[in-house]
Chains A and B, each alone.
Chain A
Amino acid sequence: MQGMHDEQTGGQVSTNPHATNEILSLPAGSPASLGQVSEVAARLARAMNSVIEGKPDVVHTAITVLLAEGHLLLEDVPGVGKTMLAKTLAKSIDASVRRVQFTPDLLPSDITGVSVFNQDVRDFEFRPGAIFANVVVGDEINRASPKTQSALLESMEEGQVTVDGQTYDLPKPFIVMATQNPIEMEGTYPLPEAQRDRFMARISLGYPSARAELAMLDTHGQVSPLETLTPVTDAATISAMVKAVRSVFTSDAVKQYVVDLSAATRSSSALRLGASPRATLHMLRAARAHAALEGRDHVLPDDVQAVVLPVLAHRIIPTGETQLARRSNGEVLQDIMRRVPVPAAGR
């Protein structure tokens, strides 16, 4: 298991004497009410914003993906706080968290786990890999070999791990937050399109504003805010919230809108590859979560529009002309949103 930092932060840390925030816990199994969803989400966002300064949108998207049962791809230049974001989210939730530092020699079994022979019981015993946690932070995912990447991505998609013919369920909730660095290409294996498609959303943090950076110098100068951060909620609550999000109503009009948007990316002359059906599904789920975060029990086209960029931007491939024209994927998507009419009810 070399190269893998197994860092367990969650589990039993439910009572922290320094906790400024009391953990808001909901009974597991029953869906949370929408009021509770937005309240918990607001506390989560507050906690994360105290660490990641000046990026409330990014934090919001991360929470949206968490509640939509998706996985998050953080893609940006080094040092803007990708890992920090992932760790902040992980630490805000009182849940099992594992962090995997991807390196070229990381093996698939390091991710999934391995069956070892136990002398005492004279049988093979499964040792769960890094993926067996509620929150998995995969750092520098593009540094691992494609084989290892595939292992991670397959378990991400299926929510389970199969080792030696034996299937093991992953815990719920389950979110993978992978970071990757698009600049440093030497010795990396960039994720192929098919695998990027597995991530519900991609976030680029971007550089902080001058003021946020200044404030960062002040706070990070003394002690890392991450260290004083205490969980504000627990895994069961997140599960309940996820259930609540699933119950958010989606009218035919909104479904039609989502489909129309996907279709528009496929037929767009600016794009070589449009959104996949999985993208459509992800878009709708993210929109549901977005609606729930606003305390609404139904999805509006506005919710869909809010998630289009993070959900679709990493999946579409622009044509050569678009690239030559220096139009970003985001611009192309904005264009498409302006063009596609919002379907009315009953149409």
Chain B
Amino acid sequence: MSRGRIADSLLAGLASAVVAWPLTTLFAPNTWIRPTLVVIAMVVLAGVVGRLLTTSWIGVAASQLVGLVLVSSWLYGRGHLWHGLPTPDMVLAFNNLLVQARETIQNYAAPAPTNRGITLAIGLVIGVAAIIVDHLAVMRRSPALAGLPLLTAYLISASNSGDALNPLYFLVAAAVWLLLLGRQGIASLRRWSTTVPMSTTGRAHHDDRDGVYGYAAVGRTLAIGGLVCAVVLPLVIPHLPTRYLIDGLGRSSDATGYSDGQVGLRTTLDLTRSLESPSTSPILTYTTNAPRLTPLRVGVLNRYDGEWKPDPEDVERSRLRQVDPPADLDPSVPRETYRISVDDSRIEAPQIAAPTPVVAGDLGRVPWGIDRQTSVVSVGRTASSYSFSYLALSPTAESLAQPTTRPGGGVVPETLQVDPDSADRVSALVRQVVPRGANRIEAARAIQQYLREDGGFTYSLNVPETIRNDFGQLEKPDPISLFLRSKIGYCVQFATAMIMMSREAGIPARMGIGFLPGTANRGVYTVTGAQAHAWPELYFEGIGWLPFEPTPSGQQTTVAPPYSLAPTGDSEQTPEQSATSGPTGSATTTAANRNDPGATSAPTTTDTGSGVGSWLSDRTATIALWLGLGLLVGILGALAVPLAARNRLRRRLRHAPDDAGRVEVEWQSMVERIGDLGVIPPRGSTPRQAGRFYQREAYLEGDQSTALRRVVDGVEQSRYMRPGSGTVTDIRTDTAAVVKAVAGVRRRKDRLRATWWPTEGVTEWRERRDALTQALRQPLDRFAQWRESRRS
């Protein structure tokens, strides 16, 4: 076996090892690397030895599989060996390890801890991939195909890391793959003996119409198509969220602390943390008869000391049907009772998503209860399907116009606690924003309006960690001050700021966490992980805790409730009015348009969190996109004719019946190409005369003249000689040389025309058009005939 196969095997092994490299981002510590490398080495060795012993691919693959099994036993199955051979109980041991690996993957976000199970799983996966790569790249000599298993192995890392992989991983893997491809290509070329002229392979072309030309043409078409797609598709397709091959692994950060198919909301909120690409996997779906959607609350936070902390529970859970309305709700407050039915909830007990305030619930056999302090609904067991009835309150303006500095009964003192670190800044801001003598609702509205629209805040999932002060020095103030100064943040920052400002203004306030109403699809609303939300709840005596919405619309549309908006005179919100609009269509947007004109015009510019929609809204980007598209269309248009010319030549060469036919095609193509350059011999010229004409017109001499003579000889031989009396030479390179030589003495204008508007290409398009016309006309003609026959 030649040395080349060993080098190819080594290269294939290297490629497999390189695509395993990005797995380092998924697991820590990286103790799996060494055994995996040993496995790959074993596969390579077994492949080389197998190829030395047999030429059958089955034999080689079998030897590699045996090698894989042996080396895995030695590496991972110690204690289950019999004289170095695996024993039956090793199967059980491996199974246990693989179960362990699965559990690890499902339960941990990246980077997951590396245990023995993980090590085995990686070793086996990469080992099998190495066998496939070796088989395709070395046995089948199709390294291009080997790119597929390599890409698959690479995608395991790319799709599970939950973040963009360092491009280096891809570049190195691609480089090794290209090396493999290049080596194989060179080897293939060397196998074609350079001494075999085309004439002797002519017979083969008969049987194999696609031949060399065909594959090259297909390859070029694919390459151009791929390139165009690679340029165009990312421009027009919005950035797709990261998909997870294995559910669980890599689902990190924002809304979901833990995994196992279930999700839960963090009950501590750290304001300094940026949100990473949020999950779009559904959390729950629901249907409702309510015309106005409310956020679904999961929990409530009262205490803030640099970050939000949960309160201890104070709840008794049982199988309830009916619960009392909140004790502090005045019966005179106008209200509607609506129902919401939730399915496929993946929120883990004791949390549950529910609207507020709940008056009845049906959770089947799941015990549930309402916290006495916070009125948060919680469950004893995870409930995936349930329904609640709740009150939609429409408090009158009079009932909301309460004085600010009167903490009501039943309000825990923490809800008036201002964060001492930012107290100065917050109180100064409140004095600036809230008009003197404003009542409770006026103050709340002013604060919400300030945060939502007037203050110049921007919604972004990426919050800055530091900020420059007036002297240009970097500072790291407390999170609330940071937010109020940088004016960049997401819902947690906005809600926290409103809560602190409200408390400063004398309104009890707390943090509600849960989910936005979600998006509708034929009446079914779907809430995803990305729609996790936090909002302030302000206390009004006789009414209770009312949610507000200081967060401007970012990736998700947020809607301020009607009572939180300043009345605009004629259109006072009444429950009846909103009730007339049924839950049709995309409820969030209708609601936004009707109730909150400000929401749609909310600033959205610096949302760095991916969505192509906001990116497109940027005017310059739009112009760039159109310019890019225009440029692309222009390039494609400019290439249309030259490419058609090339294709035409290729096709005609492919369809030529024999070598003489190919020579004829080459000659005609050369005459046309030189004609494009403006050198056109008289119509009745013989090849010899045409050759003399070219020689004279283009001042050909030396090699060019020799090439021209060879071309003419070749044409004369193929056309006029007794068939089979001589060898027909391939004139391809010579025609190219002649065309080039003629182009060299022509004017630039002629050369441009010959390059971009070749007659061959024009003819090709004309023929295509004619064929299309024909194809279109045929059915019409047939129809006409049919009608004619009917008539007669």
Contacts and interface: CB of A to CB of B under 8 A. Distances in A.
Interface of A: 249, 251, 253-254, 297-302, 305, 337-342, 344-346
Contacts of A337: 684
Contact of B661 (A253, A299, A305, A346): A346
Contact of A305 (B660, B668, B686): B686
Contacts of B720: 249, 251, 253-254, 298-301, 345
A340 B684 contact: yes
Given A249-B720, A254-B720, A302-B689, 18 more contacts: A249-B721, A249-B722, A251-B721, A251-B722, A253-B719, A297-B721, A297-B725, A298-B725, A300-B720, A301-B687, A337-B684, A340-B683, A341-B684, A342-B684, A342-B686, A344-B668, A345-B660, A346-B660
A287 to B, nearest CB: 11
Contact of A342 (B687, B721, B725): B687
A346 B684 contact: no
Interface in B637-673: 657, 660-661, 664, 667-668
Of the listed residues B668, B682, B685, the one surrounded by the most CB atoms of chain A closer than 10 A to its CB is B685
Contacts of B721: 249, 251, 297-298
Interface in B663-719: 664, 667-668, 682-689, 716, 718-719
B688 A302 contact: yes
A187 B720 CA distance: 49
The 8 closest A-B pairs by CB, nearest first: A249-B722, A301-B686, A345-B719, A251-B720, A298-B721, A338-B684, A302-B686, A298-B720
B664 A344 contact: yes
A341 B687 CA distance: 11
Nearest to B686: A301
A255 B359 CA distance: 104
B683 A341 contact: yes
Contacts of B684: 337-342
Contacts of A251: 719-722
A342 B722 contact: no
B37 to A, nearest CB: 62
B719 A338 contact: no
A345 to B, nearest CB: 4
A249 B717 CA distance: 12
Q: Is the interface of B mostly helix, strand, loop or mixed?
A: helix
22 contacts: A249-B720, A249-B722, A251-B722, A297-B721, A298-B720, A299-B720, A300-B720, A301-B687, A302-B688, A305-B686, A337-B684, A338-B682, A338-B684, A339-B683, A339-B684, A342-B687, A344-B664, A344-B719, A345-B661, A345-B719, A346-B657, A346-B661
A344 B664 CA distance: 7
A300 B661 contact: no
A328 B683 CA distance: 22
A301 B721 CA distance: 12
Interface of B: 657, 660-661, 664, 667-668, 682-689, 716, 718-722, 725
A342 B684 CA distance: 6
A344 B720 CA distance: 9
Contacts of B689: 302
A300 B725 contact: no
A144 B685 CA distance: 43
A221 B759 CA distance: 64
Nearest to A260: B684
A305 B725 CA distance: 24
Nearest to B668: A344
Contact of A346 (B664, B683, B687, B725): B664
A346 B655 CA distance: 13
A290 to B, nearest CB: 13
Contacts of A300: 686, 688, 716, 720
A28 to B, nearest CB: 26
A300 B716 CA distance: 7
B96 to A, nearest CB: 74
A72 B92 CA distance: 106
Nearest to B683: A341
B546 to A, nearest CB: 90
Nearest to B721: A298
Contacts of A339: 683-684
Given A340-B684, A341-B684, A342-B685, A298 B722 contact: yes
A300 B661 CA distance: 17
Of the listed residues B664, B683, B686, the one surrounded by the most CB atoms of chain A closer than 10 A to its CB is B686
Contacts of A254: 720
A129 B686 CA distance: 46
Contacts of A302: 686, 688-689
Contacts of A253: 719-720
A302 B661 CA distance: 21
A346 B720 CA distance: 11
Contacts of A305: 686
B693 to A, nearest CB: 12
Contacts of B688: 300, 302
A297 B661 contact: no
A91 B359 CA distance: 136
Contacts of B716: 300
Contacts of B725: 249, 297-298
B683 A338 contact: yes
Contacts of B660: 345-346
A342 B657 CA distance: 21
A337 B667 CA distance: 21
A163 B687 CA distance: 51
Nearest to A257: B686
Nearest to B689: A302
Contacts of A345: 660-661, 664, 718-720
A337 B686 CA distance: 10
Nearest to A334: B684
B495 to A, nearest CB: 83
A34 B416 CA distance: 119
Nearest to A301: B686
Contacts of B682: 338
A89 B569 CA distance: 126
A250 to B, nearest CB: 8
Of the listed residues B685, B720, B722, B725, the one surrounded by the most CB atoms of chain A closer than 10 A to its CB is B720
B518 to A, nearest CB: 71
A178 B685 CA distance: 34
A346 B687 CA distance: 15
B549 to A, nearest CB: 80
Contacts of B686: 300-302, 305, 342
Contacts of B687: 301, 342
Nearest to B685: A342
A297 B726 CA distance: 11
B729 to A, nearest CB: 15
A245 to B, nearest CB: 15
A340 B661 CA distance: 22
A199 to B, nearest CB: 26
A113 to B, nearest CB: 42
Of the listed residues B664, B668, B682, B719, the one surrounded by the most CB atoms of chain A closer than 10 A to its CB is B719
Contacts of A301: 686-687, 720
Nearest to B663: A345
A345 B667 CA distance: 11
A90 to B, nearest CB: 34
A298 B720 CA distance: 6
B548 to A, nearest CB: 86
B588 to A, nearest CB: 71
A337 B657 CA distance: 30
A340 B722 CA distance: 24
Contacts of B718: 345
A159 B112 CA distance: 107
A310 B720 CA distance: 23
A251 B720 CA distance: 5
A340 B682 CA distance: 10
B417 to A, nearest CB: 97
Nearest to B665: A344
B23 to A, nearest CB: 61
B688 to A, nearest CB: 5
B694 to A, nearest CB: 15
